[in-house]
Structure 1
Amino acid sequence: MPLPFLTADRAVDAPGEYSDDVALPFDDRDRWRRPYRPGPWRVGAAALLLLLASFVLLAAVVIAAAGAPAAAIVVLGVAVLVIASALRLLRVGVWVSRAGLRRVAFFTTTTVSWPRVRGVRTVQQPVRWLGLPRTVQGQALLAERQDGETLPPLLTDHNADFLGRAEAFDRAADLLEAWGDEYRAG
């Protein structure tokens, strides 16, 4: 089963494959896409959740075989919630299209159209380490709306996608800034 939300387009993976005069190497710009691959921390956490779900599903089968269908249904529901959480965790990130910028968090999604974005820039500031309360000095990609409100950081170099992958963060930040520059002006 293909999982398109797990992969970025091939042009992002090999930065030297597209010419410098084409800042946005995607053919279909109307489709929402994440311009980077999910990081190993995010994929690892989702894999652990799916492993846990397999054990919970096995428990549901054992409980159903033992003759307690009501309890088996409850345990099956828990397994479905764990699987849904793992899939949502893989969807978390920044998505772009010609229509705008979409920041997908675990429980919320914020979409801002490009004309309402004043600027997208990388700044040095304290950032959360893997989304935990602990902060460290790092880089964050921020988007500012036309009304002056700044969205929460779109990307940081210490989040689950870019921890230990500084080049990937720089490439993703550059691509998101390029999307902003092209569609805010156009």
Structure 2
Amino acid sequence: MNNNTNGIAAARQAHSTRCRQRVLAALEQAVHLGTEISISAIARRAGVDRSFLYRHRDLHAAVLLKAAEPTTASTRGPCVSRPSLVADLANAHDRITRLTRENAQLRQRLSEHLGEQVWRESGLGAPDDVDRLHRRVTELEQHTAEQHRQLSERDDELDAARAANRELMTRFNRPHPDGCNH
């Protein structure tokens, strides 16, 4: 029975060694081709279960290390890594949000402008020179108020002059104690 156990253990060890070699080959091939490097992708390419990579910590660490490195398959452009792609994606989402908000504001302004233009062109709206006319009305109202104030002052002066004139006429028409009229 000891022979049987040794044979099973040897077969299992050989199988594990072949799986390790397939994982390392799959990882090297993914690095060389610039394809996705993740636990799932490497396990799929090597034909092993993901749990195999989790049970062999050295293989798991090697996959994660290669996934974090920039890819070298493309020499024409800059090297990219998963973190740089995640950062680019986050920046793209922020830009989309910003542009969506700006687009909504511009649409609102355009809508208001077109609405005002249609209102004026329909003839239902006020003429363009309404503000000028309102300013002119205000100026004329102020001028009228000033004229009323000046007229009131002149009326007061005229009343005072009339009163003084009456008093003088009364004095002048009064007989003088010495008997002569002035």
TM-score tier (shorter): under 0.3
If you compute each CA radius of gyration, which structure gives the higher value, 1 or 2?
2
Indicate the structure with greater helix content. 2
In terms of fraction of residues, the more strand-rich structure is 1
* Larger RCO of the pair (alpha carbons < 8 Å, separation 6+): 1
Q: Give the TM-score taking structure 2 as reference length.
A: 0.25
Q: TM-score, normalised by structure 1?
A: 0.25
